[in-house]
């Protein structure tokens, strides 16, 4: 589908020209993406294998439901939208997760530690002053009390009491820190005229603490209280000295300075809160994206392998593990490609790609040769991750190798599936045309059958009777062919029903054996294993009968006559799928015929229509299932196996269980 062109008279504006130029630039980048070498340019600091530093507490903390006054660490500051640097966010996210605590808690501990250090320094200063002759017993007593309180609050956590989810100081914490500091430093300042020390600078600590850890209004109130205290002390001192201007001016300037400190620290705390909220938001988005990526990759029909330079598989989804194994699932990552001889060509191809710095081709077909003569052809596509040069530049020697490591992400598909999809697309249109033609054939075919029946009533010789019989047989054959084509015609209602797979298969096998005069029992050629528990799947019973009867007819036609030559098994795969497998000991299907098994009008029998397996596949896919052929290696008692999968009903969850034999 193409977009309609703009009128020739319309002139694109500057924004449209810029958009077109960006699209052309993006197209050129995408066209060269298959074989591009590793660029040395700097890439965003993100990880292909997972989210950076995503922990269990990746959500936002410090949220409050009320609209009351907030400190700089309350949810609400982070709601402003502003561009953020991804490298800073990644470092900030890792720092937050590694710290294991909120910003408020960390800053509160810093201030409590600073108070303890200040208390010890004040006590030592007073002791030194007393030794030098500047004795002030009251100031020494105040310093001793302050040092004892600050050290107790710092050493004993139960007195400190800062909760992880806390966003501002409680009343008790405010009284134990800022309130106690204001009282102590005000007392020392009041005693300053009788001593040789100046304690005005100490008032910066409670002002800073209020600006960072409290809401703006309490912080400004703290600065105002300090300024009023300084002005009162200066006014009292000016009355004694007789010069109010000389004492009030420095006090007023100091008060202004405390207001400036309060406003600046409040703004810095708000900015830090916004950055923390943004970092925590990026952590949550990264965690959700990692979960989404993991879910998508795990459920992909195509295999995904992540290979490092040492040809070690770092990650592999179930589809890739299934394609790399002869049967079942391959080993879970991590594993070495050199561990399995069948992967030798894949290992050599990956090593060559790392040495050359590019994947050899846009898509590469590769054959895996397993033991027993089984060969599976895969189609491989690959991309290389970009080295994170910016991160490696700031890392240590050991971390730089990990930060700048390049991975090869290989997308694996079964070549048979690729070819089947291609053929399916080509046959889709032909199927619609064939259905229309088959519908139009019915009327003249009915006329031919009726005319032949009238002629058969007037035949007089054996030769004429043979001709009318021949016409009748071919008319019936054409009717069956038309019915088969119409069975898989587009537009047929495909409403599935909930059926018990084990019970339905038992009924179908019993009816088929009775109709075909096929003996069942302990010495029968057919061995059936059905689950003991109900296994509810979504399918149409008549269509399931059509699929199973077709497979049973083919197995009976080519299998040997020994007991147990044909094995039919119904089992649960776990999760949302159940499987029906039919294995036989007949000669394996030749390699040149296997790719065309499920194509329409392809048959190895002269009287076959070539629609049997094609209809089976169409019916299985119509109900969300699939059908596939698997050839086992030499020495296996049943080399040919057809696997039919069906969707399990949503209200049931089948678990693998021991099967029962069909009597």
pLDDT tens, position by position, 504-536: 999 999 999 888 888 888 888 999 998 888 889
Place of tokens 């002005």: 231
pLDDT tens, position by position, 277-293: 887 778 788 888 888 88
Residue 41 pLDDT class (50, 70, 90 cuts)? very low
Check residue 566 and give its pLDDT.
93
Residue 297 pLDDT class (50, 70, 90 cuts)? confident
| Residue of 265, 281, 262, 258 whose CA lies nearest to 80 | 281
pLDDT of 498 > 70? The answer is yes
pLDDT of 31 > 60? The answer is no
DSSP string, 34-76: TT-----S---S--SSS-TT--TT-S-----SS-S---TTSTT
Number of residues that make up the chain: 663
Domain boundaries, the chain: 103-284, 300-418, 420-487, 497-661
- Mean pLDDT is highest, among 56-65, 102-111, 173-182, for 173-182
What 3-state class would DSSP assign to 533? coil
pLDDT tens, position by position, 410-428: 888 888 777 777 766 666 6
Crossing angle (nearest 10°) for helices 103-131 and 204-213: 170
| Residue of 328, 327, 330 whose CA lies nearest to 305 | 330
The fold for domain 300-418 equals Beta-Lactamase (3.30.450)
pLDDT of 395 > 70? The answer is no
497-661 CATH pick, 3.30.565.10, 3.30.70.20, 3.30.70.890, 2.130.10.10: 3.30.565.10
The strand pairing partners of 647, in sequence order, are 577
d(CA 399, CA 405): 10
d(CA 539, CA 552): 18
| Residue of 171, 184, 174, 170 whose CA lies nearest to 118 | 184
pLDDT of 361 > 70? The answer is no
d(CA 286, CA 294): 12
Scanning 300-332, the segments in alpha helix (DSSP H) are 318-324
d(CA 548, CA 561): 20
Q: How many CA atoms lie within 13 A of 317 on its CB side?
A: 19
pLDDT tens, position by position, 50-96: 333 333 333 333 333 333 344 333 333 333 333 444 444 455 555 55
Lowest model confidence (mean pLDDT) among 281-295, 459-473, 479-493: 479-493
Cβ neighbours, 10 Å, residue 227: 20
Average model confidence (pLDDT) for the chain? Answer: 75
> At residue 243, what are phi and psi to the nearest 5 degrees?
-135, 85
pLDDT (mean) for 118-130: 86
pLDDT of 36 > 60? The answer is no
Residue 642 pLDDT class (50, 70, 90 cuts)? very high
Angle ∠(508,514,517) on CA atoms, nearest 5: 130
């Amino acid at each position: 589908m193409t977009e309609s062109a703009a009128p020739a008279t319309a002139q694109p504006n500057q924004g449209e020209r810029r958009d077109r130029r960006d699209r052309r630039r993006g197209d050129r980048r995408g066209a060269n993406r298959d074989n591009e070498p590793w660029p040395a340019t700097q890439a965003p600091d993100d990880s292909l294998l997972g989210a950076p530093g995503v922990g269990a507490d990746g959500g936002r903390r410090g949220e409050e439901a009320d609209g009351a006054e907030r400190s700089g660490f309350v949810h609400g500051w982070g709601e402003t939208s502003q561009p953020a640097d991804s490298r800073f966010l990644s470092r900030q996210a890792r720092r937050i997760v590694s710290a294991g605590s909120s910003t408020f808690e960390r800053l509160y501990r810093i201030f409590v530690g600073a108070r303890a250090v200040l208390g010890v320094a004040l006590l030592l200063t007073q002791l030194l002053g007393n030794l030098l002759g500047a004795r002030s017993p009251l100031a020494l007593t105040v310093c001793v009390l302050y040092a004892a309180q600050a050290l107790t609050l710092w050493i004993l956590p139960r007195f400190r009491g800062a909760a992880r989810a806390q966003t501002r100081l409680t009343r008790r914490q405010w009284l134990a820190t800022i309130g106690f500091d204001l009282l102590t430093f005000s007392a020392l300042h009041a005693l300053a005229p009788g001593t040789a020390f100046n304690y005005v600078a100490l008032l910066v600590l409670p002002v800073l603490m209020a600006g960072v850890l409290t809401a703006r209004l309490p912080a400004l109130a703290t600065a105002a209280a300090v300024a009023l205290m300084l002005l009162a002390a200066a006014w009292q001192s000016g009355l004694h000295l007789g010069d109010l201007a000389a004492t009030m001016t420095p006090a007023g300037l100091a008060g202004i300075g405390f207001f400036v400190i309060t406003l600046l620290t409040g703004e810095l705390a708000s900015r830090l809160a916004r950055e923390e909220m943004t970092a925590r938001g990026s952590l949550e988005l990264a965690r959700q994206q990692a979960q989404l990526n993991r879910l998508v990759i795990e459920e992909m029909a195509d295999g995904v392998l992540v290979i490092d330079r040492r040809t070690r598989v770092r990650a592999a989804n179930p589809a890739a593990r299934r394609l790399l194994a002869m049967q079942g699932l391959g080993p879970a990552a991590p594993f070495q490609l050199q561990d399995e001889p069948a992967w030798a060509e894949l290992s050599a191809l990956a090593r060559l790609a790392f040495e050359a710095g590019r994947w050899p081709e846009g898509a590469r077909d590769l054959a895996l040769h397993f033991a027993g003569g089984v060969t599976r052809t895969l189609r491989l596509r690959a991309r290389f991750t970009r080295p994170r040069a910016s991160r490696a530049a700031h890392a240590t020697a050991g971390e730089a190798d990990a930060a700048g490591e390049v991975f090869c992400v290989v997308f694996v598909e079964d070549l048979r599936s690729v070819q089947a999809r291609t053929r399916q697309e080509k046959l889709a249109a032909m199927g619609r045309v064939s259905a229309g033609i088959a519908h139009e054939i019915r009327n003249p075919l009915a006329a031919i059958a009726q005319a032949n029946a009238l002629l058969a009533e007037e035949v007089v010789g054996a030769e004429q009777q043979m001709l009318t019989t021949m016409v009748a047989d071919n008319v019936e054959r054409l009717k069956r062919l038309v019915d088969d084509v119409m069975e898989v015609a587009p537009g047929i209602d495909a409403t599935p029903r909930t059926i018990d797979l084990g019970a339905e298969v038992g009924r179908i096998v019993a009816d088929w054996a009775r109709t075909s005069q096929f003996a069942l029992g302990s010495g029968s050629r057919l061995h059936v294993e059905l689950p003991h528990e109900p296994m509810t799947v979504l399918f149409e019973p008549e269509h399931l009968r059509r699929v199973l009867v077709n497979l049973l007819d083919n197995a009976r036609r080519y299998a040997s006559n020994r007991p147990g030559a044909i094995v039919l098994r119904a089992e649960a795969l776990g999760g949302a799928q159940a499987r029906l497998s039919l294995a036989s000991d007949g000669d394996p299907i030749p390699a040149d015929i296997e790719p065309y098994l499920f194509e329409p009008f392809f048959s190895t029998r002269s009287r076959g229509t070539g629609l049997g397996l094609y209809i089976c596949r169409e019916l299985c896919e119509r109900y969300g299932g699939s059908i596939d052929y698997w050839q086992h290696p030499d020495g296996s008692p049943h080399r040919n196996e057809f696997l039919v999968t069906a969707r399990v009903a949503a209200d049931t969850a089948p678990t693998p269980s021991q099967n029962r034999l069909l009597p």
